[in-house]
Structures are given as structure tokens and as C-alpha cells.
Amino acid sequence: MAYLGAAYLWVKAAHLIFVIFLMAGLFMMPRFFIYHQQCAPGSEEDAQWIERERRLLRIILNPSLILVWIFGLMLMVEIGAWHFGWFHLKLLFVLGLSGYHGWLANYWKKLARGLRPMTDKQLRLLNEIPGIAAAVIVIAVIVKPF
């Protein structure tokens, strides 16, 4: 049953717009962390990085994640996506990216407390997660392999 009607394409466009914002933030935050870790805890530079990261989380990442989920759930219901195998794969990776977002927020809190639990190399490797997830999601949605 189609409930969105003429709004369907607007909802789909909004979903994609906020996915782009979310992905940009998910790529930026670990890069911020790499630079942040290089400064001394408690320094002026440390305070500047804490504020930059806070703004990225509060202004871009958090709202984008919420809106991606809202519009995505609307689209899921509209097309009855739950019945498609490709959707289950997409959902798995979207849940993974949502968890990654939560991990980033938690790591930001550690950096703000002066902790540096990961190396720059580890953060660089973690920065690959959104790209891999995005590739899998796009293939699942466009190619619909199952």
C-alpha cells in the first residue's frame, strides 16, 4: 500500500541527501581524531579539536543519522523492503554504520578526557569502514543481487 504518493521521490531525495551528509561526517571524524591525538591533552589546540569534533557530531553527524533513519524507514514501508534479500544486507550494514557512529561519539569523549587509546594507524584503518560499508550498500540497493 503506497502511503507516500507524490512525496515518495522527495523522501527518497531527502534520504540520499542526508546519507551524503552522514558519510561525509563519518569520513571526517576519524581524520579529526588523528590530528587531535597529536596535540597535548589540556592544550589550547586540544580544546580547539574537542570543539571541532563536538560541532561535527552535534551539527552534522547526529542530525544526519536521525534523518537517514526516519526517511529510510519511510521508504522501507513504502516499498515493502522487508521482503527483499538485498534490503536485509543493506540493513545489516546500516546498523553497522550506526554502531560506528556511536563508537566515534564514544572515542570523542575519550579524547576530550585526555585519553589516547588508539594509534594513528589504527584510526586510519578504521577510517576505511564507511567506504567499505557504502560500497556494499550501494551494490545491494542498485544491483539487488538477491
Q: Which residues are annotated as a binding site?
A: 15, 90
Q: Which residues sit in the known binding site for heme?
A: 15, 90
How far apart are alpha carbons 71 and 60 in whole angstroms? 16
- Tell which residue, 28, 24, 144, has the closest CA to residue 86: 144
Terminus-to-terminus CA distance in the chain, angstroms? 23
Residues 6+ apart with CB under 8 A from 144: 84, 86
How far apart are alpha carbons 66 and 74 in whole angstroms? 12
